[in-house]
Structure 1
C-alpha cells in the first residue's frame, strides 16, 4: 500500500529539516503545537511501521526502511546497483525512535498551571505583579552603597540535597565582595526566600576585595562589574591602568589582568551563554573577549580580544552582547548605538535615538533581550530639570525603531527579562515596564533611597535591589494561599538549622513612602 501524500525522507531531507524545526519551535502557531506529536508519530514513532502504519496510510516499499537491506552482504553487482538507485531516487525512512505514541505538547497556559501546582517550583513574579512584597537585608555593606548584586544563572547544585543553596554575589562601593547563600521560595517553607549572609564581609581580617584602585574621579556603577555564570569569577573595569581584572570569588584573589584598551574601561557585559565578555572604554572602542573554560568551568579571559570594534566618536558608556544572535551592541556619549557582529566584528548599523533638544544626547544604559530587541536609555546632558531629560527607546532585532517613552526619573541600572524591562533610578524608584509598549505594568515601588543596581534571579522569582545605604532589597511575590504552613523546616547542605533562623525573608520593607 502506498501513500502519495507523504514521501519517505532521505538523510539529506532530515538534516535540512532539523534546523527549520529548531527555528520554528519559537514561532509555531498553537495549532501546530497541538498536532506536532502526530507528525512525530508518523515520521519517527509508532505509526512508522506495523498495523498502525497501515491504518495511517503510512506504508512504503520495504527497501526504504532502516535495516531492511544489507548492501554490503549483496554479491550480485546488478542487484546492488538497482537497490542503491532505488534508495537514491526514493529515499529512506528515518530511524524509528519511538514505539509508543508521543505525548501532546502542552500549551503555554498548561505549562504555567503545571508549574503553579508543583511543590518545588518558584513563583514567577511577572505573573503576580499585583502581589509583590519587598524585604530588606542589612549587615552586608552598612552605610556603603551596593553596586552589584546578582545570582549567576548556571551554578552547579547538588542533586543529593535539594535544599543546597546557590551563591548570591554582592560588591560594594568600597570594593568588598560577598558570596552569600541563596534559596528562592519553593512553597515547602513559610519564608519568602532563604538568605545566608557571608560573614567575611564584616570582618576586616577575612574580607575579600577587588584588587587595585579605580581611576580617580570615576563613578563606580554596576556596569563596571560582571560575574561568570558559575559564580566563580568576577570581572571588573574602571581601573587606573585601563585593565580588565579577573578576581576569584572563592579565594578573593586577582588571577588575571588584561590591558588592551588605551583608556579607562567604562562598562562590561557577559552574554547569556557565558562564552563572551564585551568591554567598552573611554578610548571609544569596544572589545569582545573569549572566556576560557577548562572542563566546562570558566577560568579567565583569553590573552587577546577576539574583536576590536570601532565607530564611536566619544567614550562608550554602555554595552550588551548576544552570542546566540551574533550581536554586539554599544552606546556612547556621542548619542549613537552601534550594532556589530561578534564572529567577524562586522559593522551592521547605527541607531540614532530621536531627540528634539540641541543639547548633547548620551546613552547611559542599554539592554538586549533574548529575541534581540534593543532597549536604549538616553539622557540629555546639561539639562538641569528632570522633565524630558531621560527617555526610553525600543528597536527591533533588525534595527527598526518601535517607539519611545519619556521618563520622570534618572535610570541608574536596567535589565530586560523575558517580556519586561526592570529599571532602578537615582530617585529611588523600581519600575517594571512592558517590553513592547514601554508602558508601566504596575506603579513604581518607592525604595526611598537612590538605587545603585538591580538584577532579576534566573527563576524570575525575585528582583535584587542595591541601595545607597548598603541595604539589599529583595522583591518577590507575597505568600500564596496554597502555602504549606506546617512545613517550616528543611535541612540545608551542611546545616541543620531551621530556615526561619537563618532566613532574612521576614523583614518587610516599606515601599509606599518616598523620601
Structure 2
C-alpha cells in the first residue's frame, strides 16, 4: 500500500498528514521555544529551559515541531489565535532585543505525537501564551504572513478558500523552477507548468518541468525528501492518465517493471494534463510499455493470469490508484463463511453471491432500501453509502496507517465499537446494517501484507462497551494466523467457483451493470455524485456549492470508470492452453507472470516489525495460491514521499558533508588520496579485512593465496596457499590471531596467525563458498554458497582469547538459486542474502524465518549490507543498480543506476562507499542521497572495500590484483 509508515526515531516527525485535509504548508523557520514563557521567570532560566525546533507556517495553522522528540508537536489553528505579534521585551532584556521574538496567544492548542508515539491528538483548551525566538530572521517574517492567513481563516469556507488561493498564487508566482537542479547543460526545456503531487490524503503543489531528457517536480515547500524529484524520460515505462475528484486531470508515472508508481501528478485542467502527457510521450527517449485491454481479458480467460492480477488490472484501467485514497483499488468479498472450523472451498455455500452487489445479498435489508427509495426525490438511489471510500479504506488499514486515519478523522480514532475488530463481525455488518455496503481492499488477498490485521505498533485503539480491548483483528476459526487468513482468502479468490462467477461482479463494478437500466435491474444504484460525469465542478459558479460538492466527492466514494458496456465474458473452464504444451501449469503461470510484470498495479506491503522477535511469530508468508504472481507477491513496497529521511531539516537529519564539524572523521572523506599501493596477488583480490589496530590488511584472492601486509612496515608478513581453488572471503577474529577463509573448493579454512598453519578444514557446502559474514561479539557466523544455501554456524572462540575456533552448523536456509552474498546485522538478529537470480532476502536468525523477499535486481546480486544503525539495507547487482530499502517498512528509499555494475559496498555512518566494474571508488552521502566524490585508480573492477572505524583509512582490492590504501588529505 502507499501509506507512509515512518520510523520516528530517525526521521522528522512533521508531515502534511498533521494538517487539515487540503491545507497548504508554505515555509518554516528555525526557532527556540520557551515552554515556561518569558514573563514569569528570569531570562537565564528561560534560556536554560528553551528547546529548539522548526516553526511551520501553513494555510490554516502554525505548527511547532520540537527537535526533542519526547516533546509533542504543537499546532495552533489560525482561526482561534487571539494574537500573533512581535514580543516587546523589557528594558535591558537580551531576549527579543533583535526584534526576533514571536508571541502567540490562543485558547486552543493541538498536541500531536506526544512521547514520540502515534495516537489521538490532545486538544488543549484554555488561554495559552507561547514565545519563540527566530534563529535567523525577525518576528515580522512570521507575523505578517500568519496574520494574513489568520484573517482568511475567519471567513466563510468559500471566501477563505478564495483568499488562500490568492495568497498561494502570489507565492507560487514568485517561486521559479531552480534551473541549477537540471542534470545537464544540454537539456532543452520542453514545457513548464504548475501541478500537484498526490499521495494518500496529501496534495502537495509544485512546479512540473519536462526537458528533453528528464521530468522534474519541484515542490513549493521543503517537506519532500529531495528538493527536486527527477525522473529520466528513458526510465518511464508507463504513463497513465487518471481521474482525480471525478475530473480527468491526473497523470501517473511508472518507472520500473514493478507495480510501484513513482509519481502521481494532478493539473488544473484536462487540457494541461493532456499537454503534459503529449510532451513527455513525444520525446525521443521515451519507450512506453503498454498492454491492451483486450489482450488482458484474453490472458485472464485462458487462465494465464490470476483472478487477483486481472482485478488489479481492471482497477488500474478504471483510475483506481494506491496513491489516491479516494479511488483505492476495490476488491470483492468472496467468502461468506467466518464461523466454521475448516474452510471448505468445494462448497458453493462457502462463497458470497457475486452476481449481486453487497447491499442486495440480504433480501430483507434490500426490501427496506427499495421502500425508502420510492419516497425519494430525483435522482433516486438505493444505497446512501458507497462500497469504497477513504473512510472504509482506513477502517481496514488503521493499524498500519494510523496517521492517515487520524488525519481523516480530525485527530481521533473512531469509536472502539466501530473499528475493524473482527472479520466475522464486519461481514455481518455489511449484510445487515443500513449504512454499510463496503467491499474489500487488495490487502485481504495478499498474505505478505497481513500485518494490517495486527496491531504491531501497540496503538491505543480503546475499549469496547463489552469491556474488550481493541488490538489485533479477530480471525475466523479456520485461520491459523493473519497470513493464513489472507492466504486462504487468496485461495478462495483463485478457486474454480470464483473463476466461474467473477465476471458477474466485474459487470457490477466495472461493467454494463454499473449505470443505466441494467444497474436498476441489478439493484446497483448509488448516490449520483459518486458517478463519473454526474456533475461538472468547473461549471458551478457558487463557490460554497462547489466546495460542498468537492467535499462530498472526496468523502463519500467514487464509482470506478466504466470499462465495459456489454456483459463481460466468463473465464474458460478448460485447462490452461499454455500449460498443455509440454509444461506444467505452474511453469506456464510463472512464465506468464514474468511477461506480465509491470502491467498491473497492486498494493505494496505494509511495514514489517522492527524487532526480529516480534516478527518471527508471524512465520513465513511466502506460500502462494496456484497462479499467483510470485514476482509481485514478494515485491517491495511503494516509495512514499515521506519514507526517505528529509535532509532539508538539518535538526532532524544526519548532516551532509558540508555540515560536518571539524572533529568529524568524515570531514575530508571527499578528498581521499591514494597513499600507497601494492600488488602481491597474482589474480583478482576477492576480499580483505583490516586488523583491529588498522595496521595490517588480510586479503584473499582467486590465486588461492591468503596475504598479510603491514602498513607500518610496508612489507608482506604472511603468504599462505590454502587451497587449489579461489578464495572468496575472509573473517578475522578481534585479537587478530585467527582467520576464517572461504574457498571455492566448498570448504572453510581456520587459519592460526600465531602458529602459521591451518588448524581445521571445514567441509561446509556442496558447491563453492561464496561469502562469509560475522559481527564482532556474536558467536554465530554465516556462510553462503552457490549450492543455494546459507548455513548458520555456532563458532566457539570467534571473539578471540586465543581459543581454538570450533564451528557447528545450527541451521540451513534454502534459496531458489545460488547465494552470492550475505550479511548479518550488527546485533546478529537479522541476515541478508543475495542470489544469482537477483533476489534479496531478509531473515530472522533466531527463528530462521524469511521476513521479506525482494526481486531487487536483474541478474546476480553482488553485495548486500546493512546500514550502521540497521534501519536500512543496501544491495548492488550486475544490473548496475544500487538499491537501498528501509528494513522496517520494506520501502525502497533509494535507487541508482550506474554506468558500471557495482561490485562492493561499505557503509560507515552516513557515508556509503561503492566500488564498480569501471575501477571507480564512489563516495555517497546517504543523508542527501548524493554522490559526493568518485576516484579511479584501479584497472578493472573494485572488488572489495574496507574502511577503518575512525574513517581515516580506506582500503580497496581490485580485479587488477592491486590493493590500494587511501588516506584523507
Alpha-carbon distance in 1 for matches of 2:681, 2:861: 31
Alpha-carbon distance in 1 for matches of 2:906, 2:942: 14
Counterparts of residues 68-467 of structure 1 (less than 5 Å): 124=665, 126-138=666-678, 140-141=679-680, 144-152=683-691, 154=692, 166-182=695-711, 195-201=712-718, 208-214=719-725, 220=726, 223-240=728-745, 242-293=746-797, 296-297=800-801, 299=803, 301-310=805-814, 312-324=815-827, 326-353=829-856, 361-372=859-870, 373-379=872-878, 389-398=879-888, 399-435=890-926, 438-467=929-958
Unaligned runs of 5+ in 1: 1-22, 37-107, 118-122, 156-164, 183-194, 202-207, 215-219, 380-388, 479-515
Alpha-carbon distance in 1 for matches of 2:798, 2:816: 38
Indicate conservation of the 8 Å contact 2:917/2:942, yes or no: yes
User: What whole-Å deviation, never above 9, does each CA across 1:80-104 have from its counterpart, x for those lacking one?
Assistant: xxxxxxxxxxxxxxxxxxxxxxxxx
User: What whole-Å deviation, never above 9, does each CA across 1:398-443 have from its counterpart, x for those lacking one?
Assistant: 2222231101112222222221221112311111123355431123
CA positional deviation for 1:25 = 9.6
* RMSD, aligned α-carbons: 3.6
Indicate conservation of the 8 Å contact 1:289/1:304, yes or no: yes
User: In terms of Rg, which structure is larger?
Assistant: 2
Alpha-carbon distance in 1 for matches of 2:659, 2:929: 27
Q: How many residue pairs end up in the alignment?
A: 327
Unaligned runs of 5+ in 2: 1-6, 14-50, 53-65, 71-653
SS at match of 1:297: coil
User: Structure 1 residues 438 and 256 mapped into 2: Cα distance closer, same or farther (>3 Å)?
Assistant: farther
CA positional deviation for 1:292 = 1.4
Alpha-carbon distance in 1 for matches of 2:798, 2:768: 29
Indicate conservation of the 8 Å contact 2:797/2:803, yes or no: yes
User: What whole-Å deviation, never above 9, does each CA across 1:111-139 have from its counterpart, x for those lacking one?
Assistant: x999957xxxxx72x3213432212233x
Alpha-carbon distance in 2 for matches of 1:397, 1:363: 18
SS at match of 1:262: coil
Indicate conservation of the 8 Å contact 1:210/1:247, yes or no: no
Alpha-carbon distance in 1 for matches of 2:798, 2:834: 32
Alpha-carbon distance in 2 for matches of 1:271, 1:432: 24
Alpha-carbon distance in 1 for matches of 2:868, 2:730: 21
CA positional deviation for 1:255 = 1.1
User: Structure 1 residues 343 and 136 mapped into 2: Cα distance closer, same or farther (>3 Å)?
Assistant: same
Alpha-carbon distance in 1 for matches of 2:835, 2:667: 35
Match of 1:504 in 2: none
Query: Going by fraction, where is helix more abundant, 1 or 2?
Result: 2
Match of 1:384 in 2: none
Alpha-carbon distance in 2 for matches of 1:35, 1:429: 40
Deviates more, 1:26-35 or 1:411-420: 26-35
SS at match of 2:930: coil
User: Structure 1 residues 258 and 33 mapped into 2: Cα distance closer, same or farther (>3 Å)?
Assistant: farther
| Poorly superposed stretches of 4+, deviation over 6 Å | 23-36, 112-115
CA positional deviation for 1:232 = 2.0
TM-score by length of 1: 0.56
Q: Which has the higher contact order (CA 8 A, sep 6+)?
A: 1
Indicate conservation of the 8 Å contact 2:733/2:799, yes or no: no
